[in-house]
Amino acid sequence: MTTPITHIYFLLDRSGSMESMRDDVIGGFNAFLREQVADGRDAVMTLVQFDSGNSHEVLVDAAPLETVSPLTRGTFEPRGGTPLFDAMGTLIIEASRRAEVEDGRETVIFVTFTDGEENASSEFSKDKVFLLVDERTKKGWTFVYLGANQDSYREGGRVGFSADSIQNFEASADGTAMAFMSLSKGMMKERGKVRAMMERDVANFFEGDKEAETDLRGKP
């Protein structure tokens, strides 16, 4: 029997406002990657970063996790504005094309990691992205949103992300580390279910375990 594959699409905001979190994001992403590699060889990753200079810079394209290079200060250089809708829409369409070729052989988990609200899109509107997310959710995709310096429930919710798959985090070293830790924990749970061919609730990625948000709410 062929081992079920999880495809992690990681959409990473590298707009200028991410500069204050640059090293924290690099460290958090690399820790997330190490943990996912250790969890087994049944996942691939597509990593795309975006800003107003390039809303779709592909760093990794459907590569086995163990072959993915860690982020560095050379590959993650914050700049420009936040064309969030363009970045989401473009990647969802590309992922949909691959899904048609794979014909159900991959389970898609689409992660958006950002510290700011949409402010620079020209090709995709909120409504267009919402329709794409809704369509793919009905096909079994899971959409995860991690956001700092914003109301992530409003920003993610208006493009169709489920509240149970959204999490706010503090734009600090500890907050960013906890966001990636929570993401990694949820991802391993989902991969375990895919591996065992168990039923999944595609709209409830975190299953109530939102450590980074709990920490943020506890701040004075």
pLDDT tens column, 95-149: 999 999 998 899 999 999 999 889 999 999 999 999 999 999 999 999 999 999 9
* 34 CB neighbour count, 10 Å cutoff: 13
Q: How many CA atoms lie within 13 A of 219 on its CB side?
A: 12
What DSSP line would sit under 35-53, residue for residue? HHHHT-S-EEEEEEEEETT
| pTM (2 d.p.) | 0.97
**Host domain of residue 140:** 5-217
* Residue 121: count of CB within 10 angstroms of its CB: 22
The 3-state DSSP class for residue 194 equals helix
pLDDT, tens digit (0-9, with 9 covering 90-100), for 189-206: 999 999 999 999 999 999
Q: What is the pLDDT averaged over residues 36-54? A: 97
- Beta bridge partners of residue 7, listed in sequence order: 44, 108
CATH code of the domain containing 19 = 3.40.50.410
Which candidate, 175, 149, 148, 150, places its Cα nearest to that of 24? 175
**pLDDT for residue 81 is more than 70:** yes
Angle, alpha carbons 87-156-40 (nearest 5°): 75
| Domains in the chain, number | 1
3-state helix, strand, coil in the chain (%, to 5): 45, 20, 35
State residue 140's pLDDT score. Answer: 96
